[in-house]
Structure 1
Amino acid sequence: MDSSVIIEQSGIEFGTSGARGLVSDFTIEVCAAFAIAFASVLKKEQDLKTIAVAIDNRPSSYKMAQAISVGLKQLDIETKFYGVIPTPALAFHSMQQEMPCIMVTGSHIPFDRNGLKFYRSGGEITKADETAILKIKAPVLPIPLELLPELKILLDAKQIYITRNTEAFDKKTLSGKRIGIYEHSSAGRDLYGEIFENLGAEVVTLGRSDSFVPIDTEAVSDADKQKAKDWVKEYKLDALFSTDGDGDRPLLSDENGEWLRGDILGLLCSKILKIEALATPVSCNTAIEKSGLFKHIERTKIGSPYVIAGLEVLCKKYSVVAGFEANGGYLLASEVTLNGKIIKPLPTRDAILPAIILLSQLNVTSISEMVNSLPSRFASSDRIKDYAIHKSLDLIRDIAQHPERLLPGLGFEADVIDMDETDGLRISFVDGTIVHLRPSGNAPELRCYAEASTVAKADNLVLNTLTRIEEL
C-alpha cells in the first residue's frame, strides 16, 4: 500500500504546527508512512542519507520513533535519534548540520493524542510541503511489531542547544538570582537547569511528573496559576520558568508568581533585542503596535508556518527580524547582537531564549516593572474542549453574516468597528475591547481570545463568551 492511502485512511491531519491525531490512529504503519512520504518528497530534491528524530515524554512517543526509523530504513535512510529533547533543540542542531528532522510530539494537547513535526535542513516545512507529503504515493512495506529496533540516544543536539543559549551571555548574568523550573513532563526538563546554572543562577526544580501533563501556555489552568504564586513565595524566587510538552512554548512568571502572556513575553524580548521588524499572528496583543518600537509589524494567520512565511518576506527588507506567537513561542530569523555577542538565528518556535533575555535584565529591573512599561492592553484566552471543528466554523460563519442578530445573544452590546477574518473571526468594538473566535488547529476545541484595558475585563469577556456559546 502506498503512503497517501495509509495516511488518508488514518484520519490524521496537519494542524497549525505538524500532523496531530489520536495515539490510536498513529499506528506503526501510519508513522512509517508519514516518515517515508516526508523523505520521498525531500529525495526528489536532494541526495538524502540521514534524518534526525527526537521525542517528547508522552508514553506513545518512543514507539512512534521506532516506527519512523523502520520506515526510513526502507529507503536506506539512517535515523539519528536524540531521545527526549525540546523541539527547538532538535531543530537547531539539525539546521547546523543541514539535516532534516522529525519531532515526535503532540505539544500541549492531552496524552491520548500525539503528533509529528517535520523540518527541512533549513527549517520548518511549509504548507506546500504538507500537501506534498499527503499526496505523494510512496510504497510502504508491512512492519511487524518485532522489527521495531532499540534506538541509541545521541547527546550532541542537547549540548549544542545549551551552548546556543548561553554563549552570548556572561557566566554571572543571573548571579544571585533564584530561578524556579516547573518541570512537569516537559521535554526540556533535564537541560533547563543546566542552562540557568551556566548563567550563574541558583535553580530550584519543582513539580516533576512521571505522567504526561498537557500544559497549554495560552490557557493556563487555575491550578497552575496558583502553583506559580505559591512556589514563588515559598522558595523566594525571582522568577519561575516552564514550557509546554515539547519545549517550544514558554511560561515565565514575574517575581510575584504572575505568569506573563506569551505575546507580552515576546514583545519585551523583541524590545530588548532591538528587533526592527516583527511577524506575529493576528491574535497577538495590540500593545505591539501601540508600543511604537518596530519599523514594521506583519500580522499573519495563526500557526508557525504562517509566521515563518512572514519572516521570509521581512528578511528581504530588514536586518534584524523576529516573530512570536500568542503562546510565547519565539522565532529569531536573523543574527542579533546583545552585549557585543552574537545570538544565532532559530526561525522556529523556541521557549528558552525569550525567558533568558528577560531574566538577563534582572540586575537592572524586575519583570513586573518591564511589563508595566508597556501600553495597558491586557489579553486573556481559553477554550471549549471537545467542540467539533464544523461547529466552530458554523458559529463563526453565522456571526460574521449576522452580527446584529447573534452578538447581543453572546452579551455584546457595543457597536462593532471592525471584523477581521484573517483567521477565524476577530471582532473589534467601539469601547476598545476585542474578541477573537477560532477553531483550534490541533484538537477539537473552540478557542476564544479577548483583549481589553484591564485584566478583569479581558478575563470576563472570555468567560462570558464561552459560557454563552456553550448554552446555545
Structure 2
Amino acid sequence: MDEPIEFGTDGWRAELSEFTTPRVRMVAQGIADYLREEADHAGDTVAVGYDARETSPGFAADVTEVLTSNGFNVLLADRDCPTPITAWTIKNRGLAGAVAITASHNPPEYNGIKFIPDDGAPALPAVTEAIESHLREPDPLPPEEHGVHREDDFVEPYFENAIVMVDAHLTDLTVVYDGMHGSGRGVTDELLELAKATVHRRRCDYDPTFGGTPPEPSAENLEGLVEAVEEHDADIGIANDGDADRIAVVTPERGFLNENLFFAALYDYLLEFNDGPAVRSVSTTFLIDRIAEAHGEAVYETPVGFKWIAQAMGEHDALIGGEESGGFSIRDHVREKDGVLMALLAAVMTAERPIDDRIDDILDTYGEIYQDRRSIDCPDDRKEPVVADLSTQLPDSVAGLDVEDVNDVDGFKILLEDGSWLLVRPSGTEPKLRVYAESSSQERIETLLDAGVDLVEPLV
C-alpha cells in the first residue's frame, strides 16, 4: 500500500517505489488546480526545474505535460538546475511559481517534488496543504486550451545578476569546488571562474549515482575536499549538496567548517558594510545573537525549516537568514536558501581576509562555541505523543545546571544558566527525534546530549 503524499519540511520526497509517474502527475494536477483556483494564476507561466538524478528529467517532463494540458505555459530548464536558481527565475521573469524535481541530499533511490510560489520563497503550510487537498488524476482541458512549453537557460541570467550583486573580483583566490555530482556542477564552479577565481574541481562530472555517496555535504563525505584544499594550497574549499541549495566550507586551518561558524563569519562580514537583523532557526547557534547584540541588531528565532526563516526575513527586512544545516540567503535576493550565491559570497569574504582569521577573532571576542546533535529512532505516529509527554516532564536542571527558561517554538529548547542549551524536536523528514546541544566546551556537549537522550528515550 502506497504511503500518503505529504509535503514535509521541503516538499514531498520518497523512494522511487513510492515516487512514481502516476503519483507525480497527481501532484502536478494538484499544483495546477491550486494555481488556477486559489492563487489566481490561471493560464500564467510556471518554471519547471530538476536535479541531476537519472529519473528527474522524465518526472519534469510529466509535470510539464500536466501543467500545459491545464492551460499553463511552462519554462523548462534546459539542463539539471540548482533549486535556488529555479526559484530566482520566478522573480526574475515574473512567473506564477515553479516546480522543482529534486530529492536534494538524499540517495539516488529517492526523488522529490517541491512547489515554489510566485514570491520565490518556500511554500508555507497553507499552500502545501491546499495542494494536497487538490491531489487527483490529471484532468486536461480541451486541446485548444492547452498552454505551450519551451526550454530555456535559467543559469546565465542568474550569473549576470549574481556578479553585479556581489561585485566579485577574485583574481588572487584559489578555490577547490566539490560538486558531489549534483546540479551545482558546471554552475557554482563556473560562477567562481567568472569572478576570476582559480578553481580546482572535484566530482563535477555527471553521475546520477553520485559516486555511491549521497550528495550530503557532511564532514565524513568531504574528507577528499579537505585533502584537496591542502594539496592545492587553496584559500577555501566549497561544496554544494545535490540540488545546490546548501553550502559547506573547508578552510586551510580548520578543515570542514562547522556551518554555525560559517554563518557567524558571514554575518560578521556583511555587517561591515550593511546593517540589519539576522534570522536563525531554533537549532542554530547563539553566536549569531552575540554578534547582533554587539552591532545593535536583533535576532529572530524560527522553527526548523527554511520556509519559516524566509517568512521572518520578509517580515523583518533581515540582512541574513540561516540554519545550522548549511542553508542561507541574504537581503535583496530570493528568499530561498542558495548554495550557489553563498559560494560566491564565501569566496569574496575569503578574498578580503582569510576566513580562519575572521573566525579566530569572532571566537576571541564572543567566546568559543560547540554544537552537536544526536538522533533517536521514533515512528512518525509517536512523535506528537512523545513531545506532549515531554511537556509534562521537563526538568528543573540538566547535567547539574539550572534551567532558566524553555522555548517551545519547535519542540522544547531548554536554556541553562551558563548560556548553554538543549533542544529536543521531531524531525520533519525522518522517523526520528533530534537532540541538539550547544555549549562552550566539547566535553560539556557530550554530557548535555547524554542527558537529552536519557530524558527522551523512555518516552518513545
TM > 0.5 fold call: yes
Work out the number of aligned pairs and report it: 434
1:468 CA drift (Å): 8.9
1:313-352 equivalences in 2 (<5 Å): 313-315=315-317, 321-334=319-332, 345-352=333-340
1:379 CA drift (Å): 3.9
1:100-119 equivalences in 2 (<5 Å): 100-119=97-116
CA contact (8 A) 2:266 2:349 kept: no
1:168-317 equivalences in 2 (<5 Å): 168-169=165-166, 173-208=169-204, 210=207, 211-212=209-210, 213-217=213-217, 220-224=218-222, 226-273=223-270, 274-291=274-291, 292=293, 293=295, 295-315=297-317
Percentage identity across paired residues of the two chains: 22
Q: Distance in 1 between matches of 2:370 and 2:9?
A: 21
Q: Distance in 2 between matches of 1:258 and 1:466?
A: 29
1:86 CA drift (Å): 0.6
Unpaired runs of at least 5, structure 2: 141-148
CA contact (8 A) 2:53 2:108 kept: yes
Say whether 1:51 aligns with 2:46: yes
Say whether 1:67 aligns with 2:66: no
Q: Distance in 2 between matches of 1:23 and 1:460?
A: 40
Match of 2:428 in 1: 441
Task: Report the 3-state secondary structure (helix = DSSP H, G, I; strand = E; otherwise coil) of the residue aligned with 1:108.
Answer: coil
CA contact (8 A) 1:228 1:257 kept: no
Match of 1:424 in 2: 411
1:11 CA drift (Å): 1.1
Unpaired runs of at least 5, structure 1: 1-7, 143-150, 335-344
Q: Distance in 2 between matches of 1:188 and 1:110?
A: 16
Say whether 1:369 aligns with 2:357: yes
Query: Which of these residues, 14, 22, 33, is aligned with residue 29 of structure 1?
Result: 22
Partner amino acid, structure 2, of 1:189: R
Report Cα offsets for 1:178-221 as digits up to 9, x if no partner.
1001121221111111111112211111134721343445xx24
Q: Distance in 1 between matches of 2:312 and 2:245?
A: 19
Task: Report the 3-state secondary structure (helix = DSSP H, G, I; strand = E; otherwise coil) of the residue aligned with 2:445.
Answer: helix
Q: Distance in 1 between matches of 2:3 and 2:267?
A: 41
1:306 CA drift (Å): 1.3
CA contact (8 A) 2:81 2:183 kept: yes
Q: Distance in 2 between matches of 1:467 and 1:242?
A: 35
1:60 CA drift (Å): 2.8
The CA RMSD measured in Å over matched residues stands at: 2.9
Match of 2:145 in 1: none
Q: Distance in 2 between matches of 1:19 and 1:110?
A: 15
Q: Distance in 2 between matches of 1:80 and 1:321?
A: 31
CA contact (8 A) 1:13 1:21 kept: no
CA contact (8 A) 1:109 1:443 kept: no
Return the TM-score normalized by structure 2. Answer: 0.85
Match of 2:437 in 1: 450
Task: Report the 3-state secondary structure (helix = DSSP H, G, I; strand = E; otherwise coil) of the residue aligned with 1:116.
Answer: strand
Q: Distance in 2 between matches of 1:466 and 1:359?
A: 38
CA contact (8 A) 1:169 1:199 kept: no
Label 1:94 to 1:371 Cα distance change in 2 as closer, same or farther (>3 A): same
Deviates more, 1:393-402 or 1:25-34: 393-402
Query: Which of these residues, 358, 373, 379, is aligned with residue 346 of structure 2?
Result: 358
Say whether 1:120 aligns with 2:122: no
Label 1:459 to 1:115 Cα distance change in 2 as closer, same or farther (>3 A): farther
Match of 2:146 in 1: none
Query: Which of these residues, 77, 88, 93, is aligned with residue 92 of structure 1?
Result: 88
1:63 CA drift (Å): 2.5
1:133 CA drift (Å): 0.8
Report Cα offsets for 1:418-463 as digits up to 9, x if no partner.
2222112212223432221222212223323221113454366447
1:29 CA drift (Å): 1.8
Label 1:400 to 1:109 Cα distance change in 2 as closer, same or farther (>3 A): farther
1:153 CA drift (Å): 4.7
Deviates more, 1:377-386 or 1:458-467: 458-467
